[in-house]
Structure 1
Amino acid sequence: MVTVSLSECEAAPTWAYALQLPHDPRAARIARVTLRAVLAGHGMSQLQDSAELLATELVTNAYRHSTGPATLRLRGLGRGRLRVSVWDANPHIPPPFGKRSGPRRLPVPTGPDAEAGRGLFLVCHYAETWGGYPLGGGLSGSGGKLLWCEVGG
């Protein structure tokens, strides 16, 4: 199910899309396809590469560390900025998202041969700002957390 809301601000139009994703390894691909269509529809294709990477890593994190569905939310903030956020049912805020908008070059907590553990650090490297917070009973009534990041502008 996709939810769309549009509103006009004096400075720039803003919009939001929410996409419910099943707990399925194909969820990241579905998120990328949706993201491409949304950005093209709003004339923001210049953000496609970085936004795809960010959305893929956030959705993959939700799939790997949660047992239920996730929700991808895309929000145009005006002035060519995009916020990508993902909700999942696991309330744990992983590093480095516990520290909002930290240093641009964060140490990766895995060895060079590790097969996992770099995704959220990539998000923090490519996003302009990021954050995360636990939700008490929020989306879908089950708490969890929301991780978000912004690009563009």
Structure 2
Amino acid sequence: MTRRWTRNPRCVPLARGVLREALADWGLLQIEDAALLVLSELLTNAVRHARAPPGREIETRYRPVEAGVRIEVHDASDDRPVPRSPDEDSVSGRGLNLVAALADRWDVSDREGPGKAVWAVLTVAGTPREDSGHVQPQGAF
């Protein structure tokens, strides 16, 4: 399932709604809360931090994997996200740490064309894990 979004914070709840429906269709409601939080963090990072030429959109991709879901957020910026170690008084900077805590795996992959794909795999507890591999999406946007 693939969708494109204008780089605007309003896309985050819309993308969450699309993922929520997909998880229900795939029978993956057990991981819904964690998957929605992971998506929110990855997509918010792309909206806030991905420096890309005007008119470039953000793309989300969701696909079922064995007993789970792979969530991808693509943007046209070559800048890679870096987890931070914020102090306890910081109001931001914990997103990738949350992703790492909730996902079975996450990483950043190159794309054909400009930018990157940040992805995470979440599975139902007690099931075999998918081989992560690196995503090689087609085309630029």
Smaller-chain TM-score bracket: 0.7 to 0.9
1:52 pairs with 2:39:
no
Q: 2:74 — aligned with what?
A: 87
Moved over 6 A (4+): none
1:144 pairs with 2:115:
yes
Calculate the TM-score normalised by the size of structure 1.
0.73
Cα drift, residue 43 of structure 1: 1.3
Structure 2, unmatched stretches of 5+, are 128-141
Cα drift, residue 133 of structure 1: 2.0
Structure 1, unmatched stretches of 5+, are 1-16, 97-107, 138-142
Deviations 1:38-77 (A, max 9, x none): 1111111111001000100010000001244211110101
1:76 maps to which of 61, 64, 72 = 64
Deviations 1:90-122 (A, max 9, x none): 1111224xxxxxxxxxxx521212122111111
Alignment size in residue pairs: 120
1:22 pairs with 2:9:
no
Q: 2:108 — aligned with what?
A: 132
- What is the alpha-carbon root mean square deviation over aligned residues? 1.4
Identity of aligned residues (%): 34
